[in-house]
Structure 1
Amino acid sequence: MNRAGTDRVLDEWVDRASVAAAMVPIVDGLHRRHDVVTTIHGRRLVGRSVHEILKLHRFARHLDGVELSPHEILPVLHALTTLDLGPSVVDVADCNAGFRRQDALELDDYLRHVLAEAVGTGQYAAPPRDVVIHGFGRIGRLVARILLARSGGAYGLRLRAVVLRSTGPEDLVKRASLLRRDSVHGPFDGTITVDQEAQTITANGTVIRFIGAASPSDVDYAAYGIDDAVVVDSTGVRTDRESLSAHLAAPGVSRVLLTAPASGGVPNIVHGVNDAMIADEPIVAAASCTTNAITPVLAALETEYGIEHGHVETVHSFTNDQNLTDNHHPGPRRGRSAALNMVPTKTGAAKAVAKAYPPLAGKLTGSAIRVPTPDVSIAVLTLTLGRGVTREELNAHLREVSLRSALRRQVDYVESPEVVSSDFLGSRKAGVVDGLATIADGGRQVVVYVWYDNEYGYSRQVVRVLETMSGHRALTLPAVSAASASASAADVPVALAV
């Protein structure tokens, strides 16, 4: 390419970057003032840099082979600011595609029509709900980070308190430091201040009361001005209905969400699959990270092909439950050093899948290996399907699920020859299908690999359950993907980078 050609490419890039820069304040304003999360084919625009926004526009070529122009999307964003939208997730790429396929309505009128469910609904779909986190370990702190990232906007979940078994003189400072810095997930995005006298941490403008209590029923939340709260129990100590009911005995608490698999008749929820079971249940569980990662993928395969039987092998990062050095542990093999060994262990994920998705009852077995990585795991699904399928057909279906189905908040899809576990740190989806690893040759035997951030991706699922329990589950609009009217799975190119 000659000098004129390279200058033209650079000029085009600068022009697109300028348009993307103009999007940033609009995207931020919609999010903070109206709790409207804008996306491009399911990928969030909120909090993105200019270059990341342009990358999302380029991602659109995997749907129809054409890179999305920021010049088309900017007017859509401008128009959204005039509609007085309530809490919702709005796919601006789908809106743009639908608008350009019709010529009967102007842009404002078209958006008012396809987003009618959210137009004029005001800031909150329901009154703000108090949230209490009981236990402040890996999942407790990540759930807190997700909630605090939304502070200052119209978002209707308010983190009011954290409950610990005990609080020493320096405990609050240490807890604040652990919230501020994370060896795996990086620094906290925002400001944190500590008030020792008041026993509070203020993070991004949210004042969080830290309470010491030996038992859940020992806390009088009403005395702190907390009412009708949902308690997120991330201690791992109480896992059945009887023990979790102790939270409901505390004044100011109305519901409980466990961040682990539950027993004793407590519904185990995998959001996107069986969240209709939440209803008015006072106590629900968010199942396990592995169950959340694989159940949506398995449900998509069962629906399309049928699953006769299969085995789930999980290669899982080590957890706090294991020893760093060889020492006594009540569980088999878990006493051996987590930092030095691959440790075979049991997993209840296969049975848990059946609880969340009954059509798979009795069809799956499971096992696990803990490995010396701090986060991100992978599940290998070895399945016998009800009918034969080629690798191309299977991947096309899973890619379609990730882009346009009701499970697209849970399932992602990637095809890249270089991805490894660290590339999935911070993934917002419950599981990510690795298309290049898929094994299928036209027969009924297939192997599917699913990556998952067993900390952050799982915490996102926990928050989705929390949203539904609290009446703050955002509408996803347009309700029917505009893109699906003109593209099918066969239209989607094979190569899809992370």
Structure 2
Amino acid sequence: MTVNDDSFTSWKNREEIAESMIPVIGKLHRERDVTVLLHSRSLVNKSVVSILKTHRFARQIAGEELSVTDTLPFLQALTTLDLGPSQIDIGMLAATYAADERGLSVEEFTAEAVSGATGANKIKRGDGRDVVLYGFGRIGRLVARLLIEKAGSGNGLRLRAIVVRRGGDQDIVKRASLLRRDSIHGQFQGTITVDEAKNTIVANGNEIKVIYANDPSEVDYTAYGIKDAILIDNTGKWRDREGLSKHLRPGIDKVVLTAPGKGDVPNIVHGVNHDTIKPDEQILSCASCTTNAIVPPLKAMADEYGVLRGHVETVHSFTNDQNLLDNYHKADRRGRSAPLNMVITETGAASAVAKALPELKAPITGSSIRVPVPDVSIAILSLRLGREATRDEVLDYLRNVSLTSPLKRQIDFTTAPDAVSSDFMGSRHASIVDAGATKVDGDNAILYLWYDNEFGYSCQVIRVVQHVSGVEYPTYPAPAV
């Protein structure tokens, strides 16, 4: 047998193991509200090849490839436990078990590591929480995809309605088509049907009412059976408390804005300050995509090295706010053709840091350049540190943060020497540290942070909504603090 035959046989064996994992992962998710992760990446509804690629990706982070033969025993051990709703990272289970020297069996170690989600400790499964989308643009449709994907057993978030202005004939058909196909993020994973007579979109069995209204005051959500719902405003039309309060109609309990909030509206970056949300707070903001990209690594660096001052330069993909061709725009430069120009513009991300990370007293400045790509941006974060460090030290630290810290869902890490922006389309992290581009000289550090300003940000929005709804389930093994 040749070496190539050996490699192919090994691949086929691993394919067979990954195939056997799929029904186990699906059953845990549907019947117990357990999401199986691998280094913070969900394995729910993933293909055989996707599961194998996710295992291989661990090589970039941990230095060596993780095999399905390593993780399968932990997945099997989970099926023997009385699990409640939770997220369980079998990659972390395998890694922490390898470092454990007590001689426990896989079953014993797994039971101990996830004990907070078993027996008397497990969370009771709730009835779910209604969600309404106000607006159905770029972020709205991606949030809809995520809500439908995460519907799972039906005990979590339930997308009940979308509120839009009627756009003309076949409005609902055209909106469903935009949900079904996306030029950047590809096809919707599942089936979508439309009932024009009932103004309803059915996506993977989820019945979503399309409500036509020109203003929040026109809608009584209880008339559609919606109650205690979280409304996600992705229009950006209202950004202060007075404007967003218009959404607090019958059937709506809380309002989440997918843009920077103004005045006293809390700006929340999940992973950093989501635990400061007061239980009775009805209006909050998820800040901007760039704020979400820079605040987690900024917090990580401040915690370890201290930050005396910083500057962020964002090289940002163009957005619908710009013109395809030169035309009038209320801003000075955004009227110039987005696909043909680099456009200098402003960013509020630097000033927003103070809201999300008030304990950081260092002055942070910022500016932005819009460039001719449709998605994925990069933030160049230049920091003056509180102490000197080496490049290897900083990279080792950020790699560990991305693997084991409470920020591991926000911060990803790549060592790929040929990485470019399109490689990060669909990333669910708030930002990805580019190890190859990182520069450290004494007390000066420059971090290059990729981020999918559409999808990665939408994932952060969902995490905030899960938190305020009470369906943000704990992760095991618990991240290192």
TM-score (norm 1): 0.92
Matches within 5 A, 1:448-467: 448-467=447-466
1:358 counterpart SS class: coil
Report the CA distance shift for 1:115/1:440 in structure 2 as closer, same or farther (over 3 A).
same
CA shift, 1:395, in A, is 1.1
What is the aligned partner in structure 2 of residue 227 from structure 1? Answer: 227
Kept in 2, the 8 Å contact 1:123–1:154? The answer is no
Matches within 5 A, 1:108-187: 108-120=107-119, 125-166=125-166, 168-187=168-187
Residue 48 of structure 1 is aligned with which of 39, 46, 49? Answer: 46
State the identity %.
Answer: 55
Q: Which moved more, 1:205-214 or 1:31-40?
A: 31-40
Residues of 1 paired with 2:479 and 2:426: CA distance? Answer: 28
Kept in 2, the 8 Å contact 1:35–1:153? The answer is yes
Report the CA distance shift for 1:340/1:243 in structure 2 as closer, same or farther (over 3 A).
same
CA shift, 1:86, in A, is 2.2
Q: Deviations over 1:360-402 (max 9, x none)?
A: 3451110000111111000111111111111111111111111
Residue 93 of structure 1 is aligned with which of 91, 94, 102? Answer: 91
CA shift, 1:421, in A, is 0.5
What is the aligned partner in structure 2 of residue 306 from structure 1? Answer: 306
What is the aligned partner in structure 2 of residue 494 from structure 1? Answer: none
Kept in 2, the 8 Å contact 1:34–1:123? The answer is no
What is the aligned partner in structure 1 of residue 295 from structure 2? Answer: 295
Matches within 5 A, 1:204-353: 204-248=204-248, 250-280=249-279, 281-353=281-353
1:334 counterpart SS class: coil
Residues of 2 paired with 1:225 and 1:122: CA distance? Answer: 30
Report the CA distance shift for 1:309/1:63 in structure 2 as closer, same or farther (over 3 A).
closer
Kept in 2, the 8 Å contact 1:28–1:47? The answer is yes
Residues of 2 paired with 1:263 and 1:232: CA distance? Answer: 16
Report the CA distance shift for 1:68/1:362 in structure 2 as closer, same or farther (over 3 A).
closer
CA shift, 1:97, in A, is 4.0
Q: Which amino acid aligns with 1:413?
A: F
Q: Which amino acid aligns with 2:33?
A: D
Q: Deviations over 1:195-222 (max 9, x none)?
A: 1111110000000001111221221111
Q: Which amino acid aligns with 2:206?
A: T
Kept in 1, the 8 Å contact 2:125–2:155? The answer is no
2:237 counterpart SS class: coil
CA shift, 1:125, in A, is 4.2
Kept in 2, the 8 Å contact 1:267–1:277? The answer is no
What is the aligned partner in structure 2 of residue 24 from structure 1? Answer: 22
Residues of 2 paired with 1:384 and 1:262: CA distance? Answer: 28
What is the aligned partner in structure 2 of residue 367 from structure 1? Answer: 367
Residues of 2 paired with 1:68 and 1:322: CA distance? Answer: 43
2:201 counterpart SS class: strand
Report the CA distance shift for 1:213/1:25 in structure 2 as closer, same or farther (over 3 A).
same
Residues of 2 paired with 1:305 and 1:97: CA distance? Answer: 27
Residues of 1 paired with 2:142 and 2:49: CA distance? Answer: 26
Kept in 2, the 8 Å contact 1:266–1:283? The answer is yes
What is the aligned partner in structure 2 of residue 414 from structure 1? Answer: 414
Where structure 1 has 5 or more consecutive residues not aligned to the other structure, the ranges are: 485-498
Aligned length: 478
Residues of 1 paired with 2:454 and 2:60: CA distance? Answer: 28
Q: Which moved more, 1:13-22 or 1:278-287?
A: 13-22
Residues of 2 paired with 1:278 and 1:414: CA distance? Answer: 32
1:417 counterpart SS class: coil
Matches within 5 A, 1:2-13: 3-13=1-11
Q: Deviations over 1:396-430 (max 9, x none)?
A: 11111111111000000111121111000000000
Report the CA distance shift for 1:393/1:103 in structure 2 as closer, same or farther (over 3 A).
closer
Q: Which amino acid aligns with 2:474?
A: L
Residues of 1 paired with 2:214 and 2:382: CA distance? Answer: 44
Residues of 1 paired with 2:135 and 2:367: CA distance? Answer: 28
1:295 counterpart SS class: helix
Residues of 1 paired with 2:123 and 2:386: CA distance? Answer: 47
Kept in 2, the 8 Å contact 1:137–1:234? The answer is yes
> Cα RMSD over matched residues?
1.9
CA shift, 1:64, in A, is 5.8
Residues of 1 paired with 2:351 and 2:361: CA distance? Answer: 7
Kept in 1, the 8 Å contact 2:61–2:414? The answer is no
